[in-house]
Amino acid sequence: MRPFRFSVQAFEATSGAEWLTTARRAEDLGYSTLFTTDHYFGPGEIATESGHRPVDVAPLCAMTAAAMATTTLRVGCRVFCVDYHNPVVLAKELATIDLLTDGRLEVGLGAGWVAAEYEGLGIALDRPGVRIERLKETVGLMRQQWSGEPMDVRGTHVRASGFAGRPLPVQQPSPPVLIGGGAPKVLGAAGELADIVSINFNNAAGKLGANSVASSNEDATAEKVGWIRAGAGDRFDDIELEIAAYFIAIGDDSGSALEAMAQRFGVPPVELAAHPHALIGSVDAVCEQLQARREKFGVSYVNVAQRSMEAFAPVVARLAGT
């Protein structure tokens, strides 16, 4: 059974000092990783339509700054949308971060899902099967580029040739690759290719809402683990399973917080309290929930939002590394 790791996903920074403080505080509190996110919209129609909060910082710059301000904290993006980046350029940027941090990079990659953002950025949103094939080809290209061998990639969606990749990442044969999703094809691909698989909502609708929550209850999560296992085959035990705790309330006021969150998403409170993406209750109760879910689903890597970093810290202190 894998020991617990915990990460923070950070969206907000109104100044450089605030961002660096967040990174240092995450490290001090025992979090393993600080993740940024690969979205480019501020307040406006995209945020309203998608249900996704606006994002302040661009990922590569923010990851580098956080790593330079810390000594042990791992950094990554949860996750880079492969449709937003040239894969050769992104692979070189990521290898450079791994080099400069002496191997503290985690590479999160995804097939994309925020329909309103695609439209707002002027990027074509292909059907899911095409996006997933592009994701798979991108992973293969990046791993070849990180090997330092001559590039000769001639896929349907990505191509590169005529050079050898530089720099070489410190982590060999490659930095750990995280792929996330909530539908059969992408989780099967994640099982096939990833070192870390993030179990997420099924966001096929292109926006967050009650359907996202309903797509990730206990039965659905068990089914998702089955899709990962089918894709992974014999390598399933080598994969680290990750999940985000989107609904967090720790301590005496957790009951009223649960009621408010349940009302917002149109889910009965008792159902939300047991939801695999919820951690609600006392520190003792939350620790017991996490241990039970690790036993049931195999999930040992837990991501929390920046706004919950301090409140969740006692759980991290109790469980990290155990």
Confidence (pLDDT) at 49: 85
Q: How far apart are CA 188 and CA 208, in angstroms?
A: 22
Element (H, E) at 78: none
In DSSP terms, 214 is beta-bridged to: none
* pLDDT value for 210: 60
Tell me how far apart the alpha carbons of residues 63 and 33 are, in angstroms, rounded to a whole number: 10
The domain defined by 5-319 folds into TIM Barrel (3.20.20)
What SS3 class is residue 44? Answer: coil
Give the mean pLDDT per block of 10 residues along the chain (322 residues).
Answer: 96 93 98 96 88 90 97 97 97 98 98 92 95 97 97 97 98 96 95 97 59 80 97 97 92 78 78 87 95 97 96 98 97
> What's the burial of 130, exposed, middle or buried (CB within 10 Å: 0-12/13-18/19+)?
middle
Return the pLDDT at 205. 53
CB 269 within 8 A of CB 300: no
Rounded CA-CA distance 225/229 in Å is 6
Instruction: Please list the alpha-helical segments (H only) found in 153-217.
Output: 184-193, 210-214
The residues spanned by each domain of the chain are 5-319
pLDDT at residue 208, as a whole number: 56
Separation of alpha carbons 315 and 286, rounded Å? 7
Those residues with Cβ within 8 angstroms of residue 13's Cβ, 6 or more apart along the chain or in another chain: 19, 22, 56, 57, 62
Rounded to the nearest 10°, the torsion over CA 214, 274, 194, 131 is 10
pLDDT of residue 206: 46
The encoded tokens of residue 252 equal 């005496």
User: How far apart (Å, rounded) are the C-alpha atoms in residues 41 and 117?
Assistant: 7
Q: What is the pTM of this model?
A: 0.94
